[in-house]
């Protein structure tokens, strides 16, 4: 056997071993976590085991290199395992741990002050949590607790997490109906329709909660003036405006927070995801000093053992510094423009398939002509080296949300890969049609 043949043989052997190892993991996952999750992900070509993670890229267990355009629904704004963030975690682990949650800490105080500095307007007080749902839960508790009013207005296809209050504000019944009755006095209105929101917001309303751009709802940018109109309607009735920036925050849309595009300052803002820099779990509910009054006689009314742990706060501080130092907000705006232009080109090439290009900055999506195309396109994108997952609440929308560290070369790679994946999908390549039909009948969240 020649050296070359031996090399090919070794590569084939390694490939077989990797495939066997992957099959074993899938089998264990199916047995001990959920077999249906494995089936759904397989059907969309997303039975990917992430291996090496590096900046804008991820490698699967079989050595395939993929540009990460899902980024855990916008959680990796500084890229994956950013060297400075990894270093911050190592350094923090040398001297810190979670810390005693009832005590004060330098890390919590410093991060709270930094969040107050970058948050819009007069948002200056912080409650830490571990994840997005928890941040939303506290936002809604604070709204009810401080106003003494019960009613919460939220939106169709809105997504705020799966914890108690947050789930009650979910805009999709598939997530909720098995658990009814949830919290009372939650009223759902169409997203983007100011008239219905103005009718729903009244003197019994504690708050309206809304994403400035719906993420899971299919990267929906509301009509101009919508968020400003909500601000006005809330003010007229003494209700609070809660903006959920868990997906849109930390530069994703080309501004630090998406509300800045509208010049609107909410009363409460929730953040999570990218704050953890792909390495730790942390969230924050950021609110005005006026609302903090509610917590003065009740300083222990909302507690979280791991919320804002010292370790996580130290890492999150570095994440914000990286966004500042590397000017990632401006980069998201620039690369977002480039990506939008590229997606428009793809739309022009496939006008019957791509109905709309949506989004702002690097929070983008394309609306496809039918629901089954979400999984079929995810499948073909993975084949072309792009990890992208269709929207949970609108499977016909493919989200393209790379990390904010991408450059023009990566944007070109996405546009080219998307075009090629589209051609393959339209040529019939992809998961069995039957599989995607079955997929469509169940909650289509991969
Ligand atoms: C806008 C928004 N709010 C809240 C959440 C829930 O966050 P978590 O999954 O960390 O609870 C998400 C998650 O995708 C989200 O996109």
Q: Nearest Cα to 369, choosing from 349, 395, 345, 393?
A: 395
Reported as a pLDDT band with limits 50, 70 and 90, residue 54 is: very high
Ligand 1 closest atom vs CA 273: 10
Strand order in the sheet with 50-54: 50-54, 57-60, 65-68, 386-387
Reported as a pLDDT band with limits 50, 70 and 90, residue 340 is: very high
**What pLDDT sits at residue 4?**
56
* CA 74 – ligand 1 centroid, Å: 10
**What pLDDT sits at residue 435?**
47
CB 384 within 8 A of CB 421: yes
* Probe residue for ligand 1, chosen from 246, 274, 283 as the CB with the greatest number of ligand atoms within 8 Å: 246
Separation CA 348–CA 336 (nearest Å)? 18
Reported as a pLDDT band with limits 50, 70 and 90, residue 5 is: low
Angle between helices 328-349 and 310-325 (to 10 degrees): 70
Angle between helices 433-441 and 373-383 (to 10 degrees): 130
Cβ of 212 below 6 Å from ligand 1: no
**What pLDDT sits at residue 443?**
40
Cβ of 247 below 6 Å from ligand 1: yes
Reported as a pLDDT band with limits 50, 70 and 90, residue 119 is: very high
Nearest CA to ligand 1 atom 7: 132
Q: Is the pLDDT of residue 432 over 80?
A: no
**What pLDDT sits at residue 431?**
73
Ligand 1 closest atom vs CA 162: 11
Reported as a pLDDT band with limits 50, 70 and 90, residue 173 is: very high
Separation CA 185–CA 153 (nearest Å)? 8
Q: Nearest Cα to 234, choosing from 197, 271, 263?
A: 197
Cβ of 159 below 6 Å from ligand 1: yes
Cβ of 160 below 6 Å from ligand 1: yes
Separation CA 75–CA 402 (nearest Å)? 10
Separation CA 342–CA 411 (nearest Å)? 8
Cβ of 80 below 6 Å from ligand 1: no
Reported as a pLDDT band with limits 50, 70 and 90, residue 441 is: very low
* Cα three-residue angle 239-138-393, rounded to 5 degrees: 85
CB neighbours of 374 closer than 8 A, spacing ≥ 6? 44, 368, 390, 391, 395, 396, 397, 398, 444
Q: Is the pLDDT of residue 246 over 60?
A: yes
pTM for this model (two decimals): 0.94
Cβ of 67 below 6 Å from ligand 1: no
Which range (40-49, 87-96, 120-129) has the least confidence? 40-49
Cβ of 169 below 6 Å from ligand 1: no
Domains defined along the chain, listed by start: 3-80+327-441 (3.90.1150.10), 83-325 (3.40.640.10)
Cβ of 211 below 6 Å from ligand 1: yes
Cβ of 92 below 6 Å from ligand 1: no
Ligand 1 closest atom vs CA 272: 10
Cβ of 272 below 6 Å from ligand 1: yes
CA 36 to mean position of chain CA atoms: 23
Q: Is the pLDDT of residue 301 over 60?
A: yes
């Amino acid at each position: 056997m020649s050296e070359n043949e031996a090399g090919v043989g070794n590569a084939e052997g390694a490939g077989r071993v990797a495939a066997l190892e992957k099959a074993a993991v899938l089998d264990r996952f199916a047995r001990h976590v959920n077999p249906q999750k494995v089936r759904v992900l397989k059907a969309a070509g997303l039975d990917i085991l992430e291996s090496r993670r590096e900046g804008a890229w991820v490698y699967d267990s079989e050595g395939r290199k993929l540009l990460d355009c899902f980024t855990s629904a916008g959680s990796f704004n500084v890229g994956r395992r950013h060297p400075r963030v990894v270093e911050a975690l190592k350094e923090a682990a040398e001297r810190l741990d979670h810390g005693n949650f009832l005590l004060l800490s330098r890390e919590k105080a410093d991060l709270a002050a930094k969040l107050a500095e970058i948050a819009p307007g007069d948002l200056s007080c912080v409650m830490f949590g571990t994840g997005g749902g928890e941040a939303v839960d506290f936002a809604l508790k604070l709204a009810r607790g401080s106003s003494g009013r019960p009613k919460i207005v939220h939106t169709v296809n809105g997504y705020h997490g799966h914890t108690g209050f947050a789930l009650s504000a979910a805009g999709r019944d598939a997530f909720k109906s098995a658990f009814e009755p949830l919290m009372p006095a939650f009223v759902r209105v169409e997203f983007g329709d100011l008239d219905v929101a103005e009718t729903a917001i009244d003197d019994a309303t504690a708050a309206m909660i809304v994403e400035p751009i719906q993420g899971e709802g299919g990267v929906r940018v509301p009509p101009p003036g919508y968020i400003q109109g909500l601000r006005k309607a809330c003010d007229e009735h003494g209700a609070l405006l809660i903006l959920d920036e868990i997906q849109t925050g930390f530069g994703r849309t080309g501004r630090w927070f998406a509300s800045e595009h509208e010049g609107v300052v909410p009363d409460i803002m929730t953040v999570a995801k990218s704050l953890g820099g792909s390495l730790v779990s942390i969230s924050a509910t950021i609110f005005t000093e006026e609302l903090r009054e509610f917590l003065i006689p009740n300083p222990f009314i909302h507690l979280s053992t791991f919320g804002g742990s010292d370790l996580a706060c130290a890492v999150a501080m570095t994440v914000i510094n990286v966004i500042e130092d590397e000017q990632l907000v401006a980069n998201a705006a620039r690369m977002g423009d480039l990506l939008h232009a590229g997606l428009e080109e793809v739309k022009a090439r496939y006008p019957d398939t791509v109905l709309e290009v949506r989004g702002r900055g690097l929070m983008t999506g394309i609306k496809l002509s039918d629901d089954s195309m979400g999984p079929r396109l995810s499948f073909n994108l993975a084949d072309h080296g792009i990890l992208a997952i269709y929207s949970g609440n609108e499977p016909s929308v493919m989200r393209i949300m790379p990390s904010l560290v991408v450059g023009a070369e990566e944007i070109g790679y996405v546009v080219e890969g998307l075009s090629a994946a589209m051609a393959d999908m339209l040529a019939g390549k992809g998961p069995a049609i039957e599989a995607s039909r079955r997929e469509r009948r169940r909650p289509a969240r991969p």
